[in-house]
Amino acid sequence: MENFNKQLAEAFSTIKNKISKNYEVGVILGSGLGFFAKQIQVETEIPYEEIPNFPKSTVEGHSGKFVFGKVNGKQIVAMSGRNHFYEGYSIKQVVFGLKLMEKVGIKNLIVTNAAGGLNPRFKPGNLMIIDDCINFTFRNPLIGKNDEKEGPRFPDMSQPYSQELIKIAEEVSLETRVPTKKGVYLALTGPTYETASEVKMLQILGADAVGMSTVPETITCSHLGIKVLGISCITNLGTGISPHKLSHSEVSETANSVSENFSKLVTEIIGKI
Ligand code: HPA
């Protein structure tokens, strides 16, 4: 833990030298949703590989970057690319980037993801505002010694997603005519997609969408007192609901196809935070 905090402090000192402002809103861009970065009037970009101790990506090519700048009048920092547990990181390493965003001043987080639809009323391309989550990764980034200065040992999870931000998102959805659904997001570790029987089980458990991210970040924000808005892009229907095999290319293609609506929604929400 001490080591983790030392690593964070070292990483932050590199970032601090490259930025001169506070950034009040953080955005984490999910699989295939990186196009949102085009909405940012960029002030500074910092590739993760230039940040000491930032968990090294196991994915070939780009490891991702922080983008600092303005959207709709607000100072924001976006993570274009995030770390997933299935890549082999510890659950604490998964939230390393988020902990750095807290250090640059974020008070609100918009966390986005690509997810499989479990609710039979959902269709690929729907955007779902997350109103609760189920941690089916059975990992928790808060395990270990607690720092009372950061947050309580036993954080409340009665409202992991901010009702205030959900209200803003729903108002923006009406104003912009970008339709949204609302529902429960369930996280598994992945990297396999679900079996048809698992999908049936997850539906019985009360989940509307399933994915491989977002919950570790949400838990960390509950601890730190950062307000969270979660938005899932339903990129496909869950195994067995969907008549065909799932593939990552289907996920990316659907996410890309909603780029205009997704960008409009998130941009307008940021303006109202
Ligand atoms: N399952 C899990 N994660 C996902 C899915 C899915 O069907 N689609 C996009 N991410």
Residue 124: the pLDDT is: 96
Alpha helix (H) residue ranges in the chain: 2-16, 91-94, 96-103, 163-176, 196-204, 215-224, 248-257, 259-272
From 31, 83, 232, 263, the catalytic residue:
31
Q: How far is CA 244 from CA 194, 241, 252, 262, in A?
A: 13, 9, 16, 25
Q: What percent of the chain has pLDDT over 90?
A: 86
- Tell me, in angstroms, the distance from the centre of ligand 1 to residue 196's CA: 13
Predicted pLDDT of residue 62: 55
**Per-residue pLDDT band at 233 (split at 50, 70, 90):** very high
User: What's the pLDDT score for residue 60?
Assistant: 57
Q: Write out pLDDT tens, residues 187-208.
A: 999 999 999 999 999 999 999 9
244 in catalytic set: no
Task: Look up residue 267 and give its amino acid.
Answer: T
Instruction: Give the separation between CA 92 and CA 53, rounded to whole angstroms.
Output: 13
Q: Is the CB of 128 under 6 A from ligand 1?
A: no
Q: What gap in Å lies between CA 115 and CA 207, rounded to an integer?
A: 11
Q: Active site includes 213? A: yes
In tens, the pLDDT along 8-57 reads 999 999 999 999 888 999 999 988 888 899 999 999 999 999 999 999 86
- Give the active site residue among 53, 108, 119, 213: 213
The residue whose CA is least distant from atom 7 of ligand 1 is 116
- Supply 240's token pair: 């067995």
> Could you tell me which of 212, 196, 219 has the C-alpha nearest to residue 251?
212
Among residues 62, 196, 201, 260, the one annotated as catalytic is 62
pLDDT recorded at residue 43: 95
Q: Residue 181: which domain range?
A: 2-272
223 carries an active-site annotation: no
Catalytic residue flag (residue 236): yes
pLDDT at 11: 97
Residue 222 zone, left/alpha/beta (φ > 0; ψ -120 to 50; rest): alpha
Of the candidate ranges 52-61, 90-99, 142-151, 255-264, the one whose mean pLDDT is the lowest: 52-61
CATH of the domain at 32: 3.40.50.1580
Start-to-end CA distance of the chain, whole Å, equals: 33
Is residue 79 annotated as a catalytic residue, yes or no?
no
- C-alpha to C-alpha distance for 78 and 34, rounded to whole angstroms: 9
In three-state secondary structure terms, 87 is helix
Q: Cα separation of 167 and 110, whole Å?
A: 14
Determine if ligand 1 sits within 6 Å of the CB of residue 233.
no
* 63/49 Cα distance (integer angstroms): 7
210 close to ligand 1 (CB < 6 Angstrom): yes
* 205 contacts 180 by C-beta, under 8 angstroms: no
Regarding the beta carbon of 238 and ligand 1, being less than 6 Å apart is answered: yes
What tokens appear for 165 in the block?
């931000």
Q: Is 185 labeled as catalytic in the residue annotation?
A: no
The answer to whether the bond into 120 is cis (omega within 30° of 0) is: no
Structure tokens at 52: 């000491």
Ligand 1: which residue has its CA nearest to atom 10? 115
